Copies of this chain bind each other. A is one copy, B any other.
Amino acid sequence: MTEKVLVIGTGAIGAFYGGVLAKAGCEVSAVARSGFDAVSANGYRIESHLGDLSWRPSQVVRSSSEYKGEPDYLLVCLKLTVETDPVALIRPALGPRTAIVLVANGIDIDAPVAAAFPDNELVAGVAYAAVSRESSGVVRHHSEYTRLVLGRYPGGPSSGAARLAELIKQGGSSAAVNEDIVGARWQKCAWNTVFNPISALGGGLGAQDILGSEDSRQFVREAIAEFAAIAAAAGHPIPGDTADKLIAGTLRMPNYVSSMGQDQLAGRPMETEALLGNVVRIAARLGVPAPRLGTLYALLKMAEKRTPA
């Protein structure tokens, strides 16, 4: 069979995995809003060391309601800001046998989708991929280390996740299945929840700016320790050496400004609730003290007031 995939959210991640799945032989379509004309004319160009992943969508639509047919997979690759409602974007294209694949960053972000569509399989995806949108329809894939972790939400085995991981490997990239995908979300957010808000609140700080002194590294360690305590209380403990490993790994990175830092500089909405607000609320519900993360959250909410929507 030829799997039908509709990609919702064709930023860098969505366009990249669309290309990987097209290379694997899937019939991949795309919802393209701002870039509709360019994508209709030229498709997506993906510049990658993996070879030619450029692809021309089977259907290019302006909204998911215009898609013709029933997709096997709805590949939803979104930044979850206050302006984005994945449920509203998913609903019009969803068929009874469609699996929803939510590739996004954050904690507690799958629950609203699961609640809205209880009869569809929901696969959560955690992407490790250094990709960037260069212009309309053009994406650059930077890094050697690229991996998509997939798993059934809220947990357990999933034929949909297993099949999709297989297709991504056929397309030349790397994928893994994790039966505790919520734990994988916590694991990834140990970086995002701490570094993204700091980057934004510092006025667009790069990773090296953030880790430039022992005092600031100590602060990052304490903030990650709060995060780890919340993750453990939520039933998804992260390894005890996470802070040290993340700091060491980040110190090897270029002075990259996180997406949230770039959003704050550009006055765009930020992933405040997905990355941080939900974590702070879980901490409050479980009675785990989180004064540092709470401070970052309070500041970010205030800073958003200055951000034109």
Contacts and interface: CB of A to CB of B under 8 A. Distances in A.
Interface of A: 198, 201-205, 209-210, 212-213, 215-216, 219, 222-223, 264, 291-292, 294-296, 298-299, 301-303, 305-306
Q: How many chain copies does the complex carry?
A: 2
16 contacts: A202-B306, A203-B203, A203-B264, A204-B306, A205-B305, A209-B302, A216-B298, A216-B301, A219-B295, A222-B291, A291-B291, A291-B292, A292-B292, A292-B295, A295-B295, A299-B299
A201 B204 contact: no
B219 A306 contact: no
A213 B295 contact: no
Nearest to A280: B215
A167 to B, nearest CB: 42
A298 B203 CA distance: 14
B198 A302 contact: yes
B201 A305 contact: no
Given A291-B292, A292-B291, A205 B298 contact: no
Contacts of A302: 198, 202, 205, 209-210, 212, 216
A72 B294 CA distance: 50
A215 B299 contact: no
A306 B209 contact: yes
A101 B219 CA distance: 37
Q: Which 5 pairs show the lowest CB-CB distances between chains A and B?
A: A219-B298, A291-B291, A295-B295, A202-B303, A202-B302
A291 B219 CA distance: 10
Nearest to A307: B203
Contacts of A210: 302
A212 B299 CA distance: 12
B295 A205 contact: no
A301 B204 CA distance: 14
A213 B301 contact: yes
B295 A212 contact: no
Nearest to A277: B215
Contacts of A212: 302, 305
Given A291-B291, A291-B292, A292-B291, A201 B298 contact: no
